[in-house]
Chain A
């Protein structure tokens, strides 16, 4: 909002200056004329200092505060006037007084002119009579007596006009006051210069001067505070900042008196130190945020959309950190420390048959061998309950973030003020790289083009049938693609089961890792195909992006669910196997018992090595293994794609370009862009898999943490090293919540299968924390019965009966419905209010316009009233230029006619234009007269000079 406001202010300012340009030229003209008179006068010529001295003398003579202020102001004006002359005419030559850069000088001239103008209003009332007299005398001398009559007659007219001009000027001033900060700051500037010029010791100052000095210092401080929000060029800001800081430093200490002064200085010093400390602390805080500098750098190069991905990545990292802490602290560490150590019971030991190869790398890589019978997987655990925390926590975090984001993003509505939004908010102020800025510029241009086209196309729609057909076709193709990929995955998973039955050792690495490979490859290539297909649809790019995201989402989800369904089949297979094993074990135990019983009834029971105990297949561990493998291969594919697709490509493009027949960099292969949507989706699905698998493999969050950590560095490097900024840079703030929503959906969808398996499939009999129970959730009841007091379980059981639960759910549904409806009504009210604001704005505009019209009418009236009075002296003259007078009359008549015409349908430019500079009278006159006199039509210098000279004449 602040940014918008700043831009708006800037715009208003530009607008105001644009209006004032004409006024400015007028002013300059006037000033130049006056100055010429002054110089001819000779005694007041060049040095400002002298003028200042004079001023001061006079001021001190009067000794009144008011007088002094006025004098200061006037002095300021004088200085400005002379300096503007310096710069405009370049005659005075000694520019050494103002050793500033060219730009700041230009700014100053503008300032001067403007300042002059603002002063102007007051000047009329306050300016010294003596000055005027002198000046007028000079002018009279300069313009010979032959033109005097003309001057007089013109003068009468011009007084009127001048007055009108004054009115206008006041109005202008009002306009400018919207950007009043600037004005005030400029005044401060002047004050600074003034007071520096004084070169006085604080001790010698009178109390009044001290007062003004204090004011100046205060204003300066204000300026420093508000400097950041000003719509100036950076250079100017820096210059102003430095100047005002110097000023404050110089005079701040001088303000107190005697003893107070020391205290004051001390206070000032302390505040300064405190400020510095605060700033350092801020810097320190920024340095403490992980990867902040990296992300900022990327942001400056690639715009905020790419940066938003990395911020999202960091956020994910944080979440995974907490998940990891939870699993580690609540599950893995207690098991490792307090549970029985490795090798004590069968589920914690590698079976005898697998022992020789358990330490082989190939086996470990597939998470078999020692890894399988370790703390990493479900099967190892003895008796634990605390895993439900993870998902609860994740839900909480995601929903909370979403709510926060929704608050932020609910502000803008895109439909009304479409173009204004685009105009004022489309620039990304974080960009610091020229190339990206170019791209952003181009993209804004295209956005405008598209918006205009859209406006045009919304009126006419040609061949809607073709577009519809193409869209249906595209969706059909995408569906085919999705079905194909789903079937491929299903096929592969079934095949892998066949391999698993045969024994994995008989197959190659490719065949063993087929599932993961195929899933990763499909996840990589299908989005590309979707992208190509979506070109058919001819959607707006933003809509197209959403479709694209939706399709990729569907693809990933489909793949994941196919994978899970295939896993379910496998689980069922394992359970069949389990039954057989269970039967075998009972017979084995029985035989063992029989042997020991028959041998010696008193002998201690035979101790069997836990490695020798036959055991079931333990499907939970199998599922965990699958997930871990999937994630590992996914990570690998991501990194390899990064290296090949980005880095290798960049290297090839860069170095083959020297000897290739077309331009590789600008042309076909080019460098790759950073694919924000694909990367974000990858991240989200990865997280989904983590949530899904964390129940069966508690090590997953740790693995994910590692992956995110590495990918943070790797991707940061890859982006900076081998990607180019996107051609269509778009702002990402709007889509943030979209990502969050997707994350939530994924979270929900990933917990579903886990809950399903927990609820429907009985746990294996000899591994995991729930071994021996019928269902996994039996543990809740058990806990209730054993760990909590009896009244609690009673309460729980009574609470869980349907008579209580159903009304509760109903109530909740009703509450949700009510809240939603109220929020909807609030939204509507909001929209209504906005509309009201808009209409009010329009009304205001109309009112302003009316007021302007009225002012113009008054002006005309005044002119009409003035013109007969102007004719009187002329008629008295009965002069040689009678003819000219007649012609002038005609011209005036024309003018009247013209202006009447102009009034009836009021042209908007007319009213800003008319009082400002070129009065239509002389022009019309000359057009009528075919250039008789010495000045040309449309060359208003002379006439304006007269315009200003005359009022003073009259006063004289």
Chain B
């Protein structure tokens, strides 16, 4: 039997681990425990609750206030994985510099990022947003319409991304993508990127932005872009949305083509 003194000697280790990983514990609590509890209590899904909050707290037709309401809900009430205000600013800046005409968004979730992108697009630009989940897509649709973007600006495609990408040219009549934003399953980053390269929609200067490449992380994706040589790339280091201590990054790729 292990003596109590030896067990006591492990207390510093325990404390260290607790303090080191406090952000992860908080995240776990907010993203998992609270969600389960609320799901049981309200009977609604998380996205529906977010939509309700936004509906009651934001001004319709004003993307700014909708985004604000989202931020408040995500940081105060529950946790939902969107891009968040800080990384969102980086994204806004990139969009301003690039002013793309055709934008593809993979994974719109509940529409936060879609609204964010759509509001900083130039006149006449078009945003294709791909969402796999039917229920999330419905919410996203509502949010987008609530923000005042019509079908000409934002087109929501409800399908998995690996089915949509090969058909972009044929069905949606796209010639070139100026800007691609990835925020869906981290495992799909790499295959989708390769698929995009295969379709030939990326031209010289097309920008691809991938969120959450460090946490939860897409190591294969990063390894690929490091090796491929097709891109000029950098990782904007930031923290995970609505959390201070977890490091995360957003990869910015500019397609250069084969030299």
Contacts and interface: CB of A to CB of B under 8 A. Distances in A.
Interface of A: 481, 485, 488, 491-492, 495, 508, 510-511, 514, 517-518, 521-522, 525-526, 528-529, 531-532, 657, 661-663, 665-668
A663 B215 contact: yes
Given A525-B10, A525-B12, A495 B215 contact: no
Contacts of A522: 9, 12
B5 interface: yes
Contact of A510 (B1, B11, B217, B222): B1
Contact of A508 (B1, B15, B24): B1
Contact of A657 (B3, B20, B219): B219
Given A508-B1, A532-B20, A666 B217 contact: yes
Nearest to A665: B219
A525 B215 contact: no
14 contacts: A485-B12, A488-B5, A495-B5, A510-B3, A511-B3, A514-B5, A514-B6, A517-B6, A521-B6, A525-B12, A529-B12, A532-B19, A663-B218, A667-B217
Contacts of B218: 663
B1 A525 contact: no
Contacts of A657: 219
Contacts of A514: 3, 5-6
Contact of B217 (A526, A529, A531, A662): A662
A39 B20 CA distance: 75
Nearest to A481: B12
Contacts of A525: 9-13, 16
Contacts of B10: 521, 525
**Majority SS at the chain A contact face:** helix
B8 interface: yes
B12 A488 contact: no
Contacts of A666: 214, 217, 219, 222
Contacts of A518: 5-6, 8-9
Interface in B1-44: 1-3, 5-6, 8-13, 15-16, 19-21, 24
B216 interface: yes
Contacts of A491: 5
Interface string B216-240: 1111001000000000000000000
Candidate in B1, B15, B216, B218 with the most chain A CB atoms within 10 angstroms = B15
A662 B2 contact: no
Candidate in A518, A662, A663 with the most chain B CB atoms within 10 angstroms = A663
Contacts of A521: 6, 9-10
B219 A488 contact: no
A511 B7 CA distance: 12
Contacts of B13: 525, 528-529
Nearest to B2: A510
A488 B8 CA distance: 8
Contact of B24 (A526, A529, A663, A668): A668
Q: Which range holds the interface residue count of chain B?
A: 20 to 34
A491 B7 CA distance: 14
Given A662-B215, A662-B216, A529 B5 contact: no
Given A510-B1, A529-B16, A517 B9 contact: yes
A522 B20 CA distance: 18
Nearest to B17: A528
Nearest to A484: B11
Interface in B102-119: none
Interface in B171-216: 214-216
B5 A663 contact: no
Given A511-B3, A521-B6, A663 B214 contact: yes
Contacts of A488: 5, 8-9
B216 A663 contact: yes
Contacts of B216: 661-663, 667
Contacts of B222: 666
A485 B8 CA distance: 9
B216 to A, nearest CB: 4
A529 B11 CA distance: 10
A462 to B, nearest CB: 19
B31 to A, nearest CB: 13
Nearest to B9: A521
Contacts of B11: 525
Nearest to B8: A488
A529 B14 CA distance: 9
A721 B8 CA distance: 33
A485 to B, nearest CB: 8
B133 to A, nearest CB: 18
A526 B12 CA distance: 6
A-B interface, 5 closest residue pairs, ranked by CB to CB distance from nearest: A663-B217, A521-B9, A525-B12, A662-B216, A525-B13
Contacts of A532: 15-16, 19-20
Contacts of B24: 668
Contacts of A526: 12
Given A525-B16, A532-B20, A667 B9 contact: no
A532 B15 CA distance: 9
Given A514-B3, A521-B6, A528-B12, A667 B20 contact: no
A329 B15 CA distance: 49
A667 B24 CA distance: 12
Given A529-B16, A666-B219, 18 more contacts: A485-B12, A508-B1, A510-B2, A514-B3, A518-B8, A522-B12, A525-B9, A525-B10, A526-B12, A529-B12, A532-B15, A532-B19, A532-B20, A661-B216, A662-B215, A662-B217, A663-B216, A665-B219
Nearest to A531: B16
A666 B212 CA distance: 12
B214 A667 contact: yes
Contacts of B12: 481, 485, 522, 525-526, 528-529
A151 B187 CA distance: 71
Contacts of A492: 5
Contacts of B8: 488, 518
A539 B216 CA distance: 30
Contacts of B9: 488, 517-518, 521-522, 525
Nearest to B248: A667
Contact of A663 (B2, B6, B21, B219): B219
A492 to B, nearest CB: 5
Contacts of B16: 525, 528-529, 531-532
Contacts of B1: 508, 510
Interface in B85-144: none
A924 B1 CA distance: 95
Contacts of B217: 662-663, 666-667
Contacts of B20: 532
Contacts of A508: 1
A878 to B, nearest CB: 59
A528 to B, nearest CB: 4
Contacts of B215: 662-663, 667-668
A510 B1 CA distance: 7
A668 B6 CA distance: 28
A638 to B, nearest CB: 16
A485 B9 CA distance: 8
B11 to A, nearest CB: 8
Contacts of A661: 216
A533 to B, nearest CB: 8
Candidate in A485, A488, A517, A662 with the most chain B CB atoms within 10 angstroms = A662
A668 B215 CA distance: 9
B143 to A, nearest CB: 27
Nearest to A532: B19
A667 B21 CA distance: 12
Nearest to A519: B9
A485 B1 CA distance: 22
Nearest to B218: A663
A517 B4 CA distance: 12
A525 B18 CA distance: 13
A481 B12 CA distance: 8
Candidate in A510, A514, A666 with the most chain B CB atoms within 10 angstroms = A666
Contacts of A485: 12
